[in-house]
């Protein structure tokens, strides 16, 4: 059974000075709509980033660009390694975020931090960021996000109430903490993968 419903959004890291060019590309070439623009997520921080959200109706693209002050932004660290407009994370919409997280943990998965409820620019949601797919510097790793958006007005209201009661830290803060703590462990180390697991046979695609 699939825990994941669809792709919610894809986040690309832009090299310094490039976010406008990529916004032009996603808006004018691909036909997306800019629905949120934050030019400094952490004005008092030692480093920060821009986040611009572009909507396509069924999914979104977030563009991020590092702002370096006393410290190099993790987004700059990411583009230094991977290049301009490199995919930092893909967010998957889950049927049940809580059920997926519980299941994933039993198989050896490591979240980057707690579940957060916030407005990520595309709207209110519950989200969990995982540690990087590859081990190493937390700011340089590509990672998945798992999320769940409210399906109706009453779920949205519940999330908004919880949101207003919790001091959420976004992925920037979670990754920053991991860098400071020198946490280089990956999302999955495969220790719980059975040694006798074999690739299942190919099956006909159903429900298309």
Q: Which is nearer to Fe ion, 133 or 189 (CB)?
A: 133
Q: Which is nearer to Fe ion, 53 or 67 (CB)?
A: 53
Q: Which is nearer to Fe ion, 63 or 104 (CB)?
A: 63
Q: Which is nearer to Fe ion, 10 or 18 (CB)?
A: 10
Contact window for Fe ion (CB under 5 A) among 13-21, 46-54, 87-95, 153-161? 87-95
Q: Output the smallest distance, CB 198 to Fe ion, in A.
A: 34
Strand ranges (DSSP E) for the chain? Answer: 4-14, 33-38, 47-55, 60-68, 86-94, 116-119, 124-129, 143-148
Restricting to residues 127-146, name those near Fe ion by CB under 5 A: 145
Size of residue set near Fe ion by CB under 5 A: 2
User: How many Cα atoms sit within 13 Å of 162 on the Cβ side?
Assistant: 16
The CA distance from 128 to 107, in Å, is: 16
Q: Output the smallest distance, CB 125 to Fe ion, in A.
A: 9
User: How many Cα atoms sit within 13 Å of 161 on the Cβ side?
Assistant: 5
Direct distance between the N- and C-terminal alpha carbons of the chain, in angstroms, rounded to an integer: 15
Q: Output the smallest distance, CB 65 to Fe ion, in A.
A: 15
Q: Output the smallest distance, CB 40 to Fe ion, in A.
A: 18
Sort 37 into a burial class: Cβ within 10 Å, 0-12 / 13-18 / 19+.
middle
Note whether 116 binds Fe ion by CB under 5 A: no
Structure tokens at 65: 């660009």
Q: Which is nearer to Fe ion, 64 or 104 (CB)?
A: 64
The CA distance from 99 to 165, in Å, is: 23
Contact window for Fe ion (CB under 5 A) among 39-47, 90-98, 150-158, 193-201? 90-98
Q: Which is nearer to Fe ion, 15 or 145 (CB)?
A: 145
Beta-bridged to residue 59, according to DSSP, are: none
Note whether 91 binds Fe ion by CB under 5 A: yes
Residues that bind Fe ion (CB under 5 A): 91, 145
């Amino acid at each position: 059974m699939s825990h994941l419903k669809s792709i919610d959004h894809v986040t690309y890291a832009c090299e310094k000075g490039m976010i406008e060019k990529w916004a032009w590309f996603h808006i004018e070439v691909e036909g997306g709509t800019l629905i949120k623009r934050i030019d400094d997520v952490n004005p008092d921080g030692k480093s920060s980033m821009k986040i611009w959200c572009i909507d396509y109706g069924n999914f979104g693209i977030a563009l991020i660009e590092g702002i370096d002050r006393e410290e190099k932004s993790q987004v700059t660290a990411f583009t230094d390694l991977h290049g301009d407009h490199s995919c930092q994370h893909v967010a998957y919409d889950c049927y049940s975020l809580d059920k997926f997280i519980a299941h994933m943990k039993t198989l050896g998965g490591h979240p980057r931090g707690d579940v957060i409820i916030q407005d990520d620019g595309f709207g209110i949601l519950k989200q969990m960021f995982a540690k990087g797919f590859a081990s190493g510097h937390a700011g340089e790793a590509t990672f998945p996000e798992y999320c769940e958006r409210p399906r109706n007005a009453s779920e949205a209201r519940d999330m908004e109430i919880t949101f207003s009661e919790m001091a959420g830290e976004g992925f920037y803060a979670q990754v920053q903490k991991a860098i400071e703590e020198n946490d280089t462990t990956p999302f999955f180390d495969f220790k719980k993968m059975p040694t006798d697991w074999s690739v299942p046979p190919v099956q006909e695609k159903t429900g298309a």
